[in-house]
Structure 1
Amino acid sequence: MLLLYSMKRKKHSLYWQCQLVGWTAASLYWSFSGMLSGGFNFSLALVHLVSDVILYIGITHLYRLFVLRNQWQQLALKPLLKRLFPAIIVLAAAYTVVTLTKIYLIRFYLVPGFSQDVYDFINANTLGVAMAGVRLMSIWMLAYHGYHYALREMRLIQENGQLQLALKDAQLQNLSAQLNPHFLFNALNTIKSMVIGQPASARRGIDLLSEILRTSLYEDEHQETTIHAELALTLDYLELEQLRMEDRLQYEVVMDDGLRELSIPRLSLITMVENAVKHGIALNKQGGHLIISGILQENGYGITVSHPGKLGAGNGIGLKNLKERLEILYKNKAVFSISEQQGIVTASLFIPL
């Protein structure tokens, strides 16, 4: 929290430094141009400098507040550009009005003998000031939005890198769970015991084990998959565990039909189920009944895995990895929780649409 606050302060400080330096440099350039053209007055130049910095920072800062309020920073490039062209015209118009008013008032009150009619002054200077306004506001908006667009791209690259690492970690954790010597030896011994008496079941066990290992090792690196594909992998895992645990492991799936083609983070459901089997049902001598349910809601969908057990029995690090991936993928809009009520442990996952 302290680091985030420090970063925000540094970002705001950089913004104000750029505003101050940028408009001061622009005003000094205008003063230098006036000095070369003759008739330079240092006092008037100082007044113009101070008023330029205050007024133009005010105009552009009001625009910044408008951008932040309407979340233009989150827009893609094409819709952003559609908004920038009208915004340039509005800012240039504001610049023109403010600049003409400022110059006229300064000359009227501070320049001896100034008597030009206000309408004549406006007619003589509006076009030049307006063109300068379009040019200056275009440069300012290009710098402002270009900077934030570059920051967003760098943040996306960083987040994608974090997601790739998290997915790799999830794959390793899932593979580790499947290749755990206890699990692997039990699975192979179960298959071995069925080779002679139940050859069909033995072949099925080999198929299940190879499919789980193939998916863990060679599946592509997409962050998401369909619920249908994730459920198929999970059912392979449960069927293989059921060959070993027999009647101690019972399971059922209750899922809305509309869910199956929706996206879900890869290895998320199997992580929840593996945690339920390892830390719940496998620790119970009588085993237990595991229920996978999915409900389509108005703004998303919920997946739950319920089983008998105790919440304090332990949670695998796969769940921690899952939470980290959800935070990155869905910007804290997805919710994962695990709770116990009357001897039933329920892991719940909500994914926004």
Structure 2
Amino acid sequence: MKRITRISTYWTIQLIGWITTSLYWGLSAFFGGTFIWKIGIADLILDVTIGIALTHIYRNFALKNGWNKLSLKRLVPRIAMSVLVLSLFYMLLIVAKLYLVRLIILKSSPISFLEFLKFTQLQVFITGTRLMSIWVLAYHLYHYSRLEIETVKENARLSLMMKEAQLNNLSTQLNPHFFFNSLNNIKFLILENPDSARRAIDLLSELLRNSLNNNVGRLIPLIEEIDLVLDYLELEKIRFEERLQTKIETSVNLSKHLILPLSIQTLVENAIKHGIEKRKSGGFITVKVEMENKFIKISVQNSGNLSSEIKDCGIGLNNLKERLKLQYNGNASFEIKEINDETVLATILLPTK
């Protein structure tokens, strides 16, 4: 079966736009009483060719240099300079076209090319400036609108995923097993150690408050995330007692750097659920935050094995990977691996800028 080749939207618009422009000039000459068919047809073909060639060269140059991703402040001077350069080339090519077409078809020319250029250059330059300005602005407005649409879509997607992370976190905190054990431990602590019981209630309420935080969609300082993790681990130590050893090491300014909320928390919860809970002897969890090259490296290491469920990245970890990808435009990374038979390491790398 013969395959039908379709013209792309870009080339369709190019052809329609420049043909329409050239036909308008041809009709103006026709009704003006100075129309010659041979000249009109030659002008049509060459006008379209010159217009498409110049704008297509500009398009390729802009794409190659990433102009479609520049901010408006950086793009405007480039557009102004480009319009000027395009207009100059357009003036030279159109004047040369006008002179040569008439020279070839009419077989004679009363003036030299330089005289003809001097006589027509201003009018053609103004026309070229108008046309190139319209084309370049339309081109960048189109890409800018597409970029805005994609940004809105990604922000909406990120917002939904953040809400999902919030719900997943809330679900974990309200997990009947977790909640029952926490309350049961608090009950016994009330009799044995009232101060610890009050502390456990404070920790549980703080965790629930953070789970219901309405600002979950924003980036938060690292120190807020670390505080949340400390509260969570402190409450879990009440449950696991000597079966859980924890350590948090930081070598960066926690107030300076921002992070997605519930990111480290997700890794720690994953370590508890799939590591510590499944071991009779319990184990350890170590959280480390450090600088590596120009990235913030966050690692969570825990006792346990990397089960097939974790290897495939469960809902929480998949959600975290996707949130990192959207928030940092693919510049952040997440990895989880088993570094020996009894230890799992999860690592997040975040760009500092």
Amino acid across the alignment from 2:178: F
Q: Does 1:205 align with 2:200?
A: yes
Whether the 8 Å contact between 2:38 and 2:105 is mirrored in structure 1 is no
Whether the 8 Å contact between 1:28 and 1:49 is mirrored in structure 2 is yes
Whether the 8 Å contact between 2:216 and 2:261 is mirrored in structure 1 is no
Q: Partner of 1:331 in structure 2?
A: 329
- For residue 223 of structure 1, give the secondary structure of its aligned residue in structure 2: coil
- TM norm structure 2: 0.94
Q: Partner of 1:275 in structure 2?
A: 270
Match of 1:261 among 242, 256, 262: 256
Q: Report deviation, 1:13.
A: 1.3
Q: Does 1:35 align with 2:22?
A: no
Distance 2:225 2:200 in 1: 19
Q: Partner of 1:349 in structure 2?
A: 348
Whether the 8 Å contact between 2:252 and 2:289 is mirrored in structure 1 is no
Amino acid across the alignment from 2:91: T
Distance 2:135 2:201 in 1: 65
Match of 1:96 among 91, 98, 102: 91
Distance 2:242 2:216 in 1: 36
Distance 2:268 2:241 in 1: 17
Distance 1:313 1:131 in 2: 68
Q: Does 1:214 align with 2:212?
A: no
Q: Partner of 1:5 in structure 2?
A: none
**Corresponding pairs, count:** 344
Distance 1:215 1:336 in 2: 24
Q: Partner of 1:106 in structure 2?
A: 101
Distance 1:108 1:138 in 2: 30
Gaps of 5+ in 2: none
Whether the 8 Å contact between 2:237 and 2:244 is mirrored in structure 1 is yes
- TM norm structure 1: 0.94
Q: Partner of 1:148 in structure 2?
A: 143
TM alignment of 1:302-313, pairs within 5 A:
302-312=297-307
Amino acid across the alignment from 2:113: V
- For residue 280 of structure 1, give the secondary structure of its aligned residue in structure 2: helix
Whether the 8 Å contact between 1:170 and 1:267 is mirrored in structure 2 is yes
Distance 1:126 1:297 in 2: 59
Q: Report deviation, 1:92.
A: 0.7
Distance 2:260 2:79 in 1: 36
Distance 1:278 1:217 in 2: 21
Describe the superposition over 1:66-125 as per-residue Cα deviations: whole angstroms up to 9, x where unpaired. Answer: 111111111122221122111111111111111111111111112233342111101110
Distance 1:113 1:100 in 2: 16
Q: Does 1:84 align with 2:79?
A: yes
Distance 1:333 1:281 in 2: 31
Distance 1:257 1:95 in 2: 56
Describe the superposition over 1:1-43 as per-residue Cα deviations: whole angstroms up to 9, x where unpaired. Answer: xxxxxxxx99x81111111111111100110111111131222
Runs of 4 or more above 4 Å deviation: none
Distance 1:244 1:221 in 2: 27
Distance 1:318 1:222 in 2: 16
Q: Partner of 1:4 in structure 2?
A: none
Distance 1:42 1:221 in 2: 69
Q: Which has the higher helix share?
A: 1
Distance 2:179 2:21 in 1: 72
- For residue 196 of structure 1, give the secondary structure of its aligned residue in structure 2: helix
Q: Does 1:244 align with 2:242?
A: no
Percent of aligned pairs sharing the same letter: 42
- For residue 253 of structure 2, give the secondary structure of its aligned residue in structure 1: helix
Distance 2:248 2:9 in 1: 54
Distance 2:300 2:46 in 1: 65
